[in-house]
Structure 1
Amino acid sequence: MDNTAQNDCEKGKERGVHGGKAMCYSIGEVVKKTGLSVHTLRYYEKEGLLPFVQKNKSGMRAYSDMDLQWLTMIECLKDSGLQIKEIRQYIDWYREGDSTLQQRLKLFRSRREAVEKEMKRLTVVLNKIHFKELLYEEAVKQGSLDAADKNPKLLRLKKKLFESPDDFDKVTG
């Protein structure tokens, strides 16, 4: 996705042309390739998230490889917690060119930090679930939850989990 790429499927003027002609996809093909719904694609367009999508001679949307890359980035940003208006802001910055590089860097840096924080939180959740799974596996083996609760290995794991959740992976391997 660079600033010089243009969405011009019919003329083949964008990067990623195949055999001298750019690849164009109908909305149905994009749905199959991306797993997004027609409704979602139209919503993104309405919200200004796909400003480069062109229409063919018949008036039908003609998505390019570049548009597919944009859809991937939109989904990534959405998955990272950005709202539609924030994604639109990123697209606007992109369209403004190099004068907005600092803003875009700041956006992606903050997204990385937010995702890392969420991953850490989810790792703690996963470790607790993993501990309970091990506990119940042992309980099934022993025929009793009380017996499993007295298992020395599980007691050590439980202590590690609740004293220092970050160390739990080191213990459970």
Structure 2
Amino acid sequence: MQIKDVAKRFDISADTLRYWERVGAIPKITRNSSGHRDYDQEDLEWVDFARCMRDAGVSIEYLIEYIDLFSQGDVTLQARKDLLAEQLDVIKAKRDEIQATYDKILNKVEHYEQQVEKYDGKLLKRN
């Protein structure tokens, strides 16, 4: 699959894909005989993983470290697990913050719904 198709599929720019590959946030992509990137299924899974992690706020540095560990093979299984567990804790904290904000806004909306029901029609009659 060509880079433009991958970019469209994952809703990221081709420049982002090139950057991720250049810095090591995804493994090197195989090139075809013309020298163009040719993404296979495994490459697409790495792009999906990187996009998911970035969307969750995981830094490029963590992705690079993870890819570096992955490339070293099974000897790094525990280190990879630890790295992901650490990020899971960070993401959970962010999720909890977002949930608290969601709950506050929901409470406000429910409050205004009650106020609107209480005064429904009365506001229109004054005009």
- Give your verdict on TM over 0.5: yes
Q: Could you list the per-position Cα deviations for residues 28-54 of structure 1 after superposition, in whole angstroms to 9, with x for gaps in the alignment?
A: 111222111111111112212233301
- Contact kept, 8 Å, 1:80 with 1:114, in 2: the verdict is no
2:98 aligned partner: 122
Which structure has greater strand proportion?
1
Which structure 1 segments of 5+ residues have no match? 1-24, 145-173
- Contact kept, 8 Å, 2:66 with 2:80, in 1: the verdict is yes
Structure 2: which amino acid aligns with 1:108? L
- Contact kept, 8 Å, 2:27 with 2:43, in 1: the verdict is no
Q: Could you list the per-position Cα deviations for residues 29-86 of structure 1 after superposition, in whole angstroms to 9, with x for gaps in the alignment?
A: 1122211111111111221223330111111111111111001111222233322122
Using CA pairs under 8 Å that are at least 6 residues apart, name the structure with larger relative contact order, 1 or 2: 2
Which structure 2 segments of 5+ residues have no match? 121-127
- Contact kept, 8 Å, 1:49 with 1:88, in 2: the verdict is yes
Separation in 2 of the partners of 1:142 and 1:69?
A: 53
Instruction: Count residues with an aligned counterpart.
Output: 120
1:62 alignment partner, SS class: coil
Q: Could you list the per-position Cα deviations for residues 96-123 of structure 1 after superposition, in whole angstroms to 9, with x for gaps in the alignment?
A: 0011111111011112222222222211
Separation in 2 of the partners of 1:69 and 1:57?
A: 23
TM-score (norm 1): 0.65
**Aligned equivalent of 2:32, options 45, 53, 56:** 56
Structure 2: which amino acid aligns with 1:63? Y
Which structure has greater helix proportion?
2
**Aligned equivalent of 2:52, options 76, 100, 116:** 76
1:137 aligned partner: 113
TM-score (norm 2): 0.86
- Contact kept, 8 Å, 2:26 with 2:64, in 1: the verdict is no
Moved over 3 A (4+): none
Which structure has the bigger radius of gyration?
Answer: 1
